[in-house]
Amino acid sequence: MFLNLSYRLRRLAPIGLAVVVLFAFGALVVLAQDAPAPLDVVNFELCSDFGGVTVDVFGDAGHNLKPYEFWADDFAQMGITVNIVDAPFNDVYSRLQTEFIAQSGAFDVVTFYPAYIGDFAGNGYLMPLDEFMGREPAAVWDPVQDDVLAPFRELYNKFGGETYALTIDGDVLVMMYRQDLFDNPDEQAAFQAQYGHELRPPETWDEWLEVGEFFTRDAGEMLAGETLEQPFYGLGEYGQRGFSYAWYLNRFASSGGIYFDENMNPLINTPEAAAGLQNMVDALQYAPPGVLGYGYDQLRDAFIQGQVAMVVQWTDVPKKAGDPTQGSVIAGRVGVGRVPGTLVGDSVVHRSMMPVGRVVGIAADSDQPEAAYCIAKYIAYNRSLEDVSSSLTGLDPYRMTHLEHPEAYTMFESEDAARAYLEGLQVALADGFPEIFIPGAAAYNDALDLQVNRALAGEVSPQEALDAVAAEWNNITDSLGRDRQVELWRQALESYRALGLIQ
């Protein structure tokens, strides 16, 4: 009985509130989004009119959902209204997993971090896309996957050889530093005097600590010839629960680590691994006091607001750091380089994690998969250059097309600067180290992140933390079925090798 009542109330509510909406509408018009200008560098045609359907799109809240607002007119032409459902950044897995298990049909297009593709596709929660992708005419249906950089295509989109998702954000970490500080002759001289060698952007994680220590200053001290009004810190780390593990894995991977051996025995607690974690723990003393609460935005802001000398960050941050309208006080003073590495033998091995990233898939229980696909393909291909080259979003390049059009990145002061940015990005990608993509990835990552975070917080030693991870990883593997996991892991190793990501 109350069911009927509430549904009736629901239908009435909009009418009752119409007056309020009318007033609010004025504000809405004023706030109409500014969107990037269409560049029309790729050829595409829109799907034919669906005659007024609503596609429910799930994604993590914030600027990466902006493209759905940018191109709403085109969606309207296809007869599609997009309804956005957003979740906090750290909640994507649990919210989606909850819905996939509930099968309430709440979402058509789902945006997620590709590490979960094994979990989602492996459980049959996603619809295979190959059939849509092969339809004619190609201008309507083909997302031109050959244009997508290999790791973002092979690892992000596929499970068991089939395509289940399309990349919309290609992530890799880079190091960013304050070029002006490293170029300052006084600082160079002081560094030379203190450490006996030249000041340069750190090549290794040991140098990361050294430079971090050097640039950490109290308020009142001098930095590059100016008296500091506020304390200044040498470096920043991602310390928040959720993705702090990736900042540790940069160190782990460069020392030659890989998650498991061929038989799924964890290799995460080797002495080299513990040394890597110790390095991250040590680094915290040169970071701002709140660093364990730093997620993407706090770490970004600490850097672009001039509080720290260097950070390792995602590749969209240089775009924001170069753009004073995004709050940057250091525009034009930013250097971008390879993530520091580890001295192995007599050469330095650099490894950049490729954490997060975003792909769109279609829920297996979607009642309008075709319209959903049209939206997914539009975002993944038709206007993707416009989206990744805009500082309104946090999306990062993932297609050849994106790398070939430096002129699109207008937030840089010159096309040369944009070109340098894109080249740096390619260097980082060449250093790229993959996440775990097999089923259970979310659980493996979460177990790792918890323990890394505990070590950072000083609750346990690095070795204890990593031993606990190894034990927990074995539990996860067992509960998912060891034989199947071993088989999938071997396939994964093969594809990592084929892509040249590991030896």
Partner 1 sequence: MNSKPSLTNRVLVHGVLLFALAVFMFPVLWMFLTSFKDSNTEFNRFPPILFPAEWKVSNYTDALTDKGGLRAFGDSLVIATSTAVICTFFGAMTAYSLARFRTGGQDFAFWILSTRMFPPVASALPLFLIFRELRLLDTYSVLIVANTVFNLPFATWLLKGFIEDLPAELEESARVDGCSYFRAFLQITLPLITPGLVVTALFSFIFTWNEFMFALLLTRNKVQPITTVLPTLVGGHETLWGQIAALGMIAIIPGTLLALFLQRYIVRGLTLGAVKG
Partner 2 sequence: MTVSTSAASTPFVSWAQRVFTPRRVVALAFVLPALVILLLITIYPLLYTLRLTVVQWELSNARAPIEFVGLNNFGRVLGDARFWNAMRNTGILIGVGVSLELVIGVGLALLLNQVVRFRSVLVALFLIPVLIAPVVSGYMFRLILHADVGPLNYLIYLITQGSSRGFGWLSDTHYALMSIMVTTIWQWTPFLMLIALAGLQSIPQEIIESALVDGAADWRIFWSIKLPLIFPVLSVGLLIRIMDTFKTFDLVYLLTSGGPGSATETVAYYTYLKGFRDFSMGYTAAMAFVQLVIIVIIARLILAMQKRQRREDYA
In the complex, which residues of this chain contact partner 1 (CB under 8 A)?
2-3, 5-7, 9-10, 13-14, 17, 20-21, 24-25, 27-28, 30-31, 56, 58, 60-64, 83, 85-91, 95, 98-99, 101-104, 106-107, 230, 295-297, 301, 305, 327, 394
31 binds, among partner 1, partner 2, none (CB under 5 to 8 A by kind): partner 1
Scan residues 195-224 and list those touching partner 2 (CB under 8 A). Answer: 219
Closest CA to 117 of 135, 92, 134, 141: 92
62 contacts partner 2 (rule: CB under 8 A): no
458 binds, among partner 2, partner 1, none (CB under 5 to 8 A by kind): partner 2
Closest CA to 462 of 338, 283, 298: 283
- Which residue among 481, 497, 500, 502 contacts partner 2 (CB under 8 A)? 481
354 binds, among partner 2, partner 1, none (CB under 5 to 8 A by kind): none
- What DSSP line would sit under 179-217, residue for residue? HHHHH-HHHHHHHHHHHSS---S-SBHHHHHHHHHHH-B
- CA-to-CA distance for 493 and 503, rounded, in angstroms? 10
51 binds, among partner 2, partner 1, none (CB under 5 to 8 A by kind): none
* Look-up of token digits 């018009």: 29
What number of CA atoms fall less than 13 Å from residue 82's CA on the CB side?
29
104 contacts partner 2 (rule: CB under 8 A): no
CB neighbours of residue 309 within 10 Å = 27
Pick the closer one to partner 2 by CB: 169 or 237.
Answer: 237
CA angle 354, 150, 432 (to 5 degrees): 30
- CA-to-CA distance for 150 and 403, rounded, in angstroms? 14
194 contacts partner 2 (rule: CB under 8 A): no
Q: How many amino acids of this chain bind partner 2 (CB under 8 A)?
A: 42
CA distances for 401 relative to 41, 385, 422, angstroms: 8, 7, 11
Scan residues 281-340 and list those touching partner 2 (CB under 8 A). Answer: 288-294, 298
356 contacts partner 2 (rule: CB under 8 A): no
- CA-to-CA distance for 153 and 346, rounded, in angstroms? 34
The 233-262 contact track toward partner 2, x by CB under 8 A, reads: ------xxxx--------------------
- CA-to-CA distance for 112 and 58, rounded, in angstroms? 8
Least distance to partner 1 from the beta carbon of 295, Å? 6
Find the part of the chain contacting partner 2 (CB under 8 A) among 201-209, 311-319, 374-382, 479-487: 479-487
Closest CA to 268 of 472, 17, 10, 469: 469
**Residue type for 459, please?**
E
231 binds, among partner 1, partner 2, none (CB under 5 to 8 A by kind): partner 2
Instruction: Identify the sign of the CA torsion 250, 252, 255, 258.
Output: negative
124 binds, among partner 2, partner 1, none (CB under 5 to 8 A by kind): partner 2
Which residues make up the interface to partner 2 (CB under 8 A)? 90, 93-94, 97-98, 101, 119, 123-125, 219, 230-231, 239-242, 288-294, 298, 439, 442-443, 446, 450, 453-460, 479-481, 484
